[in-house]
Structure 1
Amino acid sequence: MDLEPELAALRPLGGFFVLRTCVGASGVARGQELAGLPTLAETYALLTPDAQDNPLASRITMVADRLRTRELRVSASLTQQALAARLWSAALGCAVLYGRLPDLDARLLRWDFRASAPDDLWLTALRPRPADAATLAGIVLHSHLVPLEAGLKSCYGIAAGLLRGNAASALAGAARELERWARAGGLSDVVARTRALTAELFTHPDLRTAGTPTDASVGTAFRRRSCCLYYRVPGGGVCGDCCFIRPPRSSPGAASG
């Protein structure tokens, strides 16, 4: 199945999977729809301790305000995990449903940090790529999550283990939702492809130590080895895949690894 300009096959999966495109049948982006929106590559490059008015820093502050937390380290972790979930969902959905992957290079994705899914990400060119695990990991991890990790470590002091746990948790969540949707529709082939591709992705060096499967009968079940810090949000708790059974009563930095 060829990639079509609007990536319509992703729509039934919901907002986290949907990827807006500014691409017409000719493959040329409609520039006026993107006016003022930075690419994710520009956003990652600007995330330095002395940067001013960086979109990602603004998003982190916005998330902190919404969650009523003063700990920017916490909102930075949750912001990164949400962005990772968006990227994995769109990429995995395309790979499984189309058998092809649009090139989601950070230079081709424009980001509206004020918007929520699916209106936050806009793909400016449709360049088909193979849908194998190596290509998918190369795009999502190397083009996005690795430079994002470097910036967040530098600016917010977040441990690499936490951020990679977030990335792994986001992948598992995307796969779980895709599998749930496929099961509801009786699409056993989609379930099988989702499981196989996700299992191969979890062998990547940046993901394989972040957690473990928890049930061999459920291909997308996962338990991470770190904590995203959501328990530190007022009224928050531990997530379903957290390394903790209950919120810890330890020092602020204890769950950062």
Structure 2
Amino acid sequence: MAGFPRALPTGAQPIGRTEVTAALAAAATISPDCAVDQDHTGEPLHSLHTDPAAVTEAVRRVGARFEAAEARVAASTLQFLVAHRLWSVTLGALAGGGVVPDLDRLRYRVDEDGSVRLSLPDPGGWITSGDPAPLLVRVVVEEQLVPFHRGLRAVVKVADGLLRGNAAAALRSALRPLPADLGALGDRLLTTPLLRGALSSDGIRRSCCLFYRTPTGHTCRACPLVGAAVTVRR
């Protein structure tokens, strides 16, 4: 998939390995969530879009780590972890060097601790002369999150609204360690169709990620069910 011809927003200019690597190195000093490895380990990230076996195995690994009895809970947790890493890497590179990396080049693996590790052995990407929001929507939302949601729902019965909530909450979470001036960019990104309306004006989700249903799980700061009887541990 890396390098395939695609139309990108006006103003996006391709850059090479050196510039992208430098931006990612700077991002990694802000937060470890922004870091990517440089090796070839793991599977192509786009296999989560089209390969049911890859999706099933990733869901299984996350479910086993968090002892999730329900496949939808494991699927939701996996999707949040992936979305958070994608937003963190992309926004971190933007903060670190004004770069938007080409996420189609990413590889992934799910470690035994349930974390999602990303590697980028062949870095590439773009800079943009204008508002980076359209490029971020194309690279993160349209080329990664939308097909990942589709591939995940083909394997596990999980609500679309839940996945949209995860993607929006993951964006807000990824922004927290980054420079505050990216907040306005985050607000614009939340108006894209996939994310629009997923969070209330105060940042509370309109759907629950279900992580509280794992044995050691809890509600998050954006959970709409905080204090509800359903979230009380039995």
TM-score (ref. length: structure 2):
0.81
CA distance in 1 between counterparts of 2:55 and 2:154 reads 13
Q: Give structure 1 stretches of 5+ with no counterpart.
A: 22-32, 48-53, 179-189, 215-221, 251-257
Q: What is the match of residue 66 of structure 1?
A: 65
Distance verdict in 2 for CA 1:210–1:113, change over 3 Å: same
Q: What is the match of residue 8 of structure 1?
A: 25
Where in structure 1 do 4 or more consecutive aligned residues deviate above 6 Å? Answer: none
Please give the per-residue CA displacement for 1:186-233, whole angstroms capped at 9, x wherever unaligned: xxxx322x112111111111111101232xxxxxxx211100001111
Larger Rg: 1
Q: What is the match of residue 136 of structure 2?
A: 136
CA distance in 2 between counterparts of 1:135 and 1:121 reads 21
Q: What is the match of residue 154 of structure 2?
A: 154
Comparing 58-67 with 165-174, which one deviates more in the overlay?
58-67
Q: What is the match of residue 99 of structure 2?
A: 100
The answer (yes or no) to whether the contact 2:81–2:115 under 8 Å persists in 1 is no
Matched, 1:243 2:224: yes
Q: 1:109 aligns with which of 106, 123, 132?
A: 106
Counterparts of 1:173-252 in structure 2 under 5 Å? 173-178=173-178, 190-192=179-181, 194-214=182-202, 222-249=203-230
Distance verdict in 2 for CA 1:119–1:38, change over 3 Å: closer
Q: Give structure 2 stretches of 5+ with no counterpart.
A: 1-17
Percentage of identical aligned residues = 32
Q: What is the match of residue 51 of structure 2?
A: 46
Matched, 1:34 2:40: yes
Q: 1:17 aligns with which of 29, 34, 55?
A: 34
CA distance in 1 between counterparts of 2:149 and 2:121 reads 22
The answer (yes or no) to whether the contact 1:110–1:124 under 8 Å persists in 2 is no
Q: Secondary structure at the match of 2:87?
A: helix
Offset at 1:234?
1.2
Aligned pairs, how many?
210
Which letter maps to 2:141? L
Offset at 1:238?
1.5
CA distance in 2 between counterparts of 1:114 and 1:58 reads 12
Please give the per-residue CA displacement for 1:139-162, whole angstroms capped at 9, x wherever unaligned: 111111111111222211111100
TM-score (ref. length: structure 1):
0.74
Offset at 1:163?
0.1
Which letter maps to 2:46? A
Relative contact order, higher structure (CA 8 A, sep 6+): 2
Which letter maps to 1:146? V
